[in-house]
Amino acid sequence: MRKIIMLEQDTLPSPEFTQSDSRISALLDHLRQIADLQALGAIAEWDQNTAMPGGAAEVRGFQVAALQGVLHEQWTNPQLGNLLSELHEPIQRSSFTDADRGLVREAQRFQHRATKLPRKLVEELARVQATSFEAWRSAREHSDFARFAPMLNRTITLYREVADHLGFTETRYDALLNQYEPGMTSSKLDKLFAPVRETSRSLLQRIEASGTTIDASYLNGTFPLVQQLTVCEHLLRNMGYDFSRGQMAQSPHPFTTSFGSPFDVRLTVRTLENFLQASLMAAIHEGGHAVYEQGISPSLVRTLLASGASAGAHESQSRLWENAIGRSEPYWQSQFTVVKEAFPAQFAHIDLTSFVRALNKVRPSLIRVEADEVTYNLHIIVRYELEKALVNGNIAVETLPGLWNAKYREYLGIEPTNDAEGVLQDIHWSFGFGYFPTYTLGNLYSAQIFHKLHAVFPDFDQRLASGDTAFALQWLRDHMYIYGATYLPETLIEHITNETPDPQHFTRYLNSKFEKIYGLPATS
Amino acid sequence: MRKIIMLEQDTLPSPEFTQSDSRISALLDHLRQIADLQALGAIAEWDQNTAMPGGAAEVRGFQVAALQGVLHEQWTNPQLGNLLSELHEPIQRSSFTDADRGLVREAQRFQHRATKLPRKLVEELARVQATSFEAWRSAREHSDFARFAPMLNRTITLYREVADHLGFTETRYDALLNQYEPGMTSSKLDKLFAPVRETSRSLLQRIEASGTTIDASYLNGTFPLVQQLTVCEHLLRNMGYDFSRGQMAQSPHPFTTSFGSPFDVRLTVRTLENFLQASLMAAIHEGGHAVYEQGISPSLVRTLLASGASAGAHESQSRLWENAIGRSEPYWQSQFTVVKEAFPAQFAHIDLTSFVRALNKVRPSLIRVEADEVTYNLHIIVRYELEKALVNGNIAVETLPGLWNAKYREYLGIEPTNDAEGVLQDIHWSFGFGYFPTYTLGNLYSAQIFHKLHAVFPDFDQRLASGDTAFALQWLRDHMYIYGATYLPETLIEHITNETPDPQHFTRYLNSKFEKIYGLPATS
């Protein structure tokens, strides 16, 4: 493996800050203080989602708000502003490192946001988000979009103001998108997503026309939670998740968080007694996020760079591990025995190929979080197209349920019968806009990196089948994880794969995988 | 019960802050911000003890230090100083409430500490504590005091500096003691403790000379942890601990903490598969701390007064519930069935009286947390005498294991064979000094309050035997818990019991209880 890595001709330096420059030292002092305080907020959030008693909700709200206030003061501290102005020009000189440049870039981005947004707007947003969340919950409970519409309207109005304060060149939506995916624009996204939409729709139609059905019924049943957690833990260990710098807990919505990467990176899974797939795939998915964070260079600890390069870059790793690796036959060749040992009765007569086919069963559904790889991006593209139009003022909130249903009919061939299983299913719009497309971006980056991994390791599948994931993790660490947020996501993807982001990797991956599974004639 | 409470002629008003005074409002704004941030530190500490992976220790140290830094700024804010100066004199006027006065008193105490201690020292302490905790854990694991000694030395040096900055009249140790027990000095403690040490030693000798032995062997065995936790939860519910404002977790050293009393008060227990008593008595003990915090008036929430009056006052409640109530026959008359149902095989042939006798078996042991009521305070007095000598510079760290063992031989007649069961058994010295004596102080206060409870409720034992603890909890809430830290501990004890702290209540309680259990001739 080492030999192959040597042949790769790494051109990026390992991420180190300049020790000798007093401005960099002063900036680091300031930003480390901020990172340490932010970590305390993340600990409180972890606690809120995994342990906090219900009676503590109100008092916890005050605690989190107090920390936000302190952080706002830190970001708007004039000393920090002066330091960043002083460094703005010289930082491009070759005497500074890439990590120095990344640090200044990220600090400017956060400081820009903190100083440009009026405090009143931020406070109003927080209030509206809380009310909006309640309105969304009640609307979903009653399956009645009209209950949510006024708050959604208000949220859109406020985020249009946010976009105006932050600034943008093409569309307002881009300003919001940039919070999660620096450097991305909707015109770039439109180009990246078009082939994904077309390939997904046509592949889905071909699968449905083939008449082939997959039996996945044995993934439903009774699976005691203790055994599920044991399997999750095993899978996480196998993929290199380090429990001495992490922990697995349970929560209603699985998530990964960090309180100082790479030294404390935790994840949660959701266990459902009657549906095994929920916990196993959540473990691998969150494990992907987590090994990314655990692989960040310790030299970046306690800075803004000790995090993923973007939401899309992060999602590329959860998807790479969950889908490209975790739903492949080579992977389960070594791991299926763990599942069989945990649930001997359920899987006694199921062979490996059937199990993997079941994990990959394609079935257009109305619910995004239950979607397979073929239909998943169609769910995202529906949301992306609609939220972009909402923020840019091209459609009215009142028309949303009708447009949602029409797009589902057009893209997935099915249509919600009520708002709860339609436009109201996701929590996201009660908080903001611009996050959804990073899911599909993650899938595109994932396929491109997966393609590269196969090129670097021609025996990738054989190694995986033997139970070895360490070689892949090591390569990903060396070429991606170690840099944290040193580089903008597109630069990073280019470094890893030696090409610009290209959706053809994903469409080829999708066609090739599902043509094989469903016995379809190859497209190319 | 209500009638009896009416007859009690409550003279203290319920704790409310003055709404109409702008200085009190401004002070509350400032102190609530501080309380909210402190709660985030407590959440981080809870996490550190119940969940945090070992690899995160160093980075966590920085996070806690960053928060300390922010809190230090808040405490040393000149606006706060001015407010406190402005209020210093007028606060004594009758137009202000006791809560107002308590708030100003506690704020002054913390502000004094913050302004007197240099920021560098505070930050260094936080860092050293995090590292010292890991050193202690590793030293205990390897039963090797030498691994802990350097960090202990460093901690002592730093705390001697702390004492010098805080100031003291008699000894350095008093300055540290006062952090936990405002108004207490080691010369007062020496007087309070002398009769306790003498009574404990002489009672122990009389018990050993009596030749009476109690069979407690059935408390050892195999007790599956899940059932132990179920019993703990039941006992906690029975004593009025509210799980909707709390949580029970596990940690190597049981503790109770709060992130905004009375709304989020959590506790941990330690479970040992082969020793039932460890978890049950920890649950009742920590439950005592927790019902105290949960009983604090909601009007005090998010202030310095939403906490116990002192460590000693706090311990008085854990001891009252654990020992005076939780090791009494009337208590187990209603609760023993829960234990029998959880472990039917082990307790099928054990009657109530034998079970209670087993819980009260006196046996000099090396481990403080497993000690009986007769020997417990001897464990504390060993620690008190040693830490006082350490801080006052009368002994060197290196001599500690030898001195520890010698005192055990002298007071308890037994001697540790290794450091893990000797000087390394407690976590406390990895954090600081001055806390240990509050345990024995708690026992003294507890006996005094228990004496009062029996005077108020002549049918105390009968009620307890019927499974009722609510009457006692209600009385304790109304006369003690509700006030939080409004009053200094000695004032509070006087209010509750109508007399000053007096160790004779405890020595009488001890003699009377154990003379009965061991069939000894009465001393008085």
Q: Which two tokens stand for residue A352?
A: 């490996």
- Residue B66 at interface with chain A, using a CB cutoff of 8 Å: yes
Contact B264 A59 (CB under 8 A): yes
How far does the CA of residue A277 sit from the closest CA of chain B (Å)?
26
- Residue A264 at interface with chain B, using a CB cutoff of 8 Å: yes
What is the structure's pLDDT at B10? 53
- Residue A302 at interface with chain B, using a CB cutoff of 8 Å: yes
Contact A67 B249 (CB under 8 A): no
Closest residue of chain B to A249, computed from CA coordinates: B51
Does B2 or A106 have the greater pLDDT score? Answer: A106
Average pLDDT value for residue range A469-488: 97
- Residue B259 at interface with chain A, using a CB cutoff of 8 Å: yes
- Residue A66 at interface with chain B, using a CB cutoff of 8 Å: yes
Q: Could you give the dihedral angle defined by the CA atoms of residues B485, B490, B496 and B500, in that order, rounded to the nearest 10 degrees?
A: 180
pLDDT at residue A295 greater than cutoff 80: yes
* Whole-number Å distance between alpha carbons of B144 and B147: 6
Residue of B65, B243, B260 lying closest to A59 (CB–CB): B260
* Whole-number Å distance between alpha carbons of B493 and B446: 10
Contacts of B501 (CB under 8 A, 6+ apart): B192, B444, B445, B448, B490, B493
- Residue B42 at interface with chain A, using a CB cutoff of 8 Å: no
Q: In Å, what is the CA distance from A48 to each residue of B43, B67, B293? A: 10, 19, 20
Average pLDDT value for residue range A88-106: 97
* Whole-number Å distance between alpha carbons of A482 and A493: 13
Q: Choose among B232, B237, B225, B296: nearest CA to B264.
A: B296
pLDDT at residue B62 greater than cutoff 80: yes
What is the structure's pLDDT at B119? 79
Q: Which residues of A touch B264 (CB under 8 A)?
A: 52-53, 55-56, 59-60
Where does the pLDDT of residue A119 fall: very low under 50, low under 70, confident under 90, or very high at 90 and above?
Answer: confident
Q: Catalytic residues of A, which ones?
A: 286
Residue of A36, A56, A263 lying closest to B56 (CB–CB): A263
Residue of A37, A263, A264 lying closest to B70 (CB–CB): A37
Where does the pLDDT of residue A6 fall: very low under 50, low under 70, confident under 90, or very high at 90 and above?
Answer: very low
Cα four-point dihedral sign B490, B493, B495, B499: negative
Q: Kindly give the pairing relationship between strand A265-269 and strand A256-258.
A: antiparallel
Contact A43 B39 (CB under 8 A): no
Contact B40 A39 (CB under 8 A): no
Contact A60 B242 (CB under 8 A): no
Q: Choose among B312, B325, B321: nearest CA to B513.
A: B325
H or E element at residue B102: helix B98-116
Model pTM score: 0.90
Contacts of A300 (CB under 8 A, 6+ apart): A15, A99, A261, A306, A484, A486
Contact A66 B36 (CB under 8 A): yes
Closest residue of chain A to B48, computed from CA coordinates: A43
pLDDT tens for A145-184 read: 999 999 999 999 999 999 999 999 999 999 999 999 999 9
pLDDT at residue B524 greater than cutoff 80: no
Q: Choose among B193, B476, B439, B214: nearest CA to B325.
A: B476
The pLDDT mean for chain A works out to 95
pLDDT tens for A185-243 read: 999 999 999 999 999 999 999 999 999 999 999 999 999 999 999 999 999 999 999 99
pLDDT at residue B352 greater than cutoff 90: yes
What is the structure's pLDDT at A127? 87
Average pLDDT value for residue range A346-363: 95
How far does the CA of residue A97 sit from the closest CA of chain B (Å)?
24
CB distance B419 to B143 below 8 Å: yes
Closest residue of chain B to A243, computed from CA coordinates: B53
pLDDT at residue B326 greater than cutoff 60: yes
Where does the pLDDT of residue B12 fall: very low under 50, low under 70, confident under 90, or very high at 90 and above?
Answer: confident
* Sheet strands (E) in B54-146: none
Q: Which of B286, B293, B387, B490 is catalytic?
A: B286
Please, which residues 485-524 of chain B have a Cβ atom closer than 8 Å to chain A?
none
Contact A302 B46 (CB under 8 A): no
What is the structure's pLDDT at B11? 64
CB distance B203 to B510 below 8 Å: yes
pLDDT at residue B40 greater than cutoff 90: yes
Q: Which residues of B touch A44 (CB under 8 A)?
A: 40, 43
Is B233 catalytic? The answer is no
Q: Which residues of A touch B65 (CB under 8 A)?
A: 36
- Residue B44 at interface with chain A, using a CB cutoff of 8 Å: yes
What is the structure's pLDDT at A130? 83
Residue of A52, A70, A242 lying closest to B70 (CB–CB): A70
How far does the CA of residue B333 sit from the closest CA of chain A (Å)?
31
- Residue A468 at interface with chain B, using a CB cutoff of 8 Å: no
pLDDT at residue A124 greater than cutoff 60: yes
- Residue B357 at interface with chain A, using a CB cutoff of 8 Å: no
Contact B33 A69 (CB under 8 A): yes
Contacts of A5 (CB under 8 A, 6+ apart): A475, A478
Please, which residues 229-248 of chain A have a Cβ atom closer than 8 Å to chain B?
242-247
* Sheet strands (E) in B205-306: 246-250, 256-258, 265-269
What is the structure's pLDDT at A321? 98
Where does the pLDDT of residue B369 fall: very low under 50, low under 70, confident under 90, or very high at 90 and above?
Answer: confident
Contact A36 B246 (CB under 8 A): no
Q: Which two tokens stand for residue B141?
A: 């694991």
What is the structure's pLDDT at A13? 83
Cα-to-chain-centroid distance, residue B123: 26
Q: C-alpha angle A364/A369/A373, rounded to 5°?
A: 55
Q: In Å, what is the CA distance from A367 to each residue of A198, A318, A362, A377, A426? A: 20, 19, 13, 12, 9
CB distance B258 to B307 below 8 Å: yes
Residue of B37, B43, B53 lying closest to A264 (CB–CB): B53
Contact B53 A259 (CB under 8 A): no
Concatenated DSSP letters of B435-502: -THHHHHHHHHHHHHHHHHHHH-TTHHHHHHTT--HHHHHHHHHHTGGGTTSS-HHHHHHHHHSS---
What is the structure's pLDDT at B126? 82
Long-range contacts, B289-292 (Cβ 8 Å, 24+): B289/B256, B289/B314, B289/B315, B289/B317, B289/B318, B290/B236, B290/B241, B290/B246, B290/B256, B290/B265, B290/B266, B291/B239, B291/B240, B291/B241, B291/B317, B291/B321, B291/B473, B291/B476, B291/B481, B292/B317, B292/B476, B292/B480, B292/B481
How far does the CA of residue B501 sit from the closest CA of chain A (Å)?
35
User: What is the complex's ipTM, to 2 decimals?
Assistant: 0.90
Q: What share of chain A is helix, strand, coil (3-state, %, to 5)?
A: 70, 5, 30
How far does the CA of residue B264 sit from the closest CA of chain A (Å)?
5
Average pLDDT value for residue range B284-312: 97
* Whole-number Å distance between alpha carbons of B506 and B449: 10
SS3 for B269? strand
Contact A39 B63 (CB under 8 A): yes
Q: Which residues of A touch B69 (CB under 8 A)?
A: 33
Closest residue of chain B to A46, computed from CA coordinates: B47
What is the structure's pLDDT at B252? 85
Q: Which two tokens stand for residue B159?
A: 């705390």
Determine the length of chain B: 524
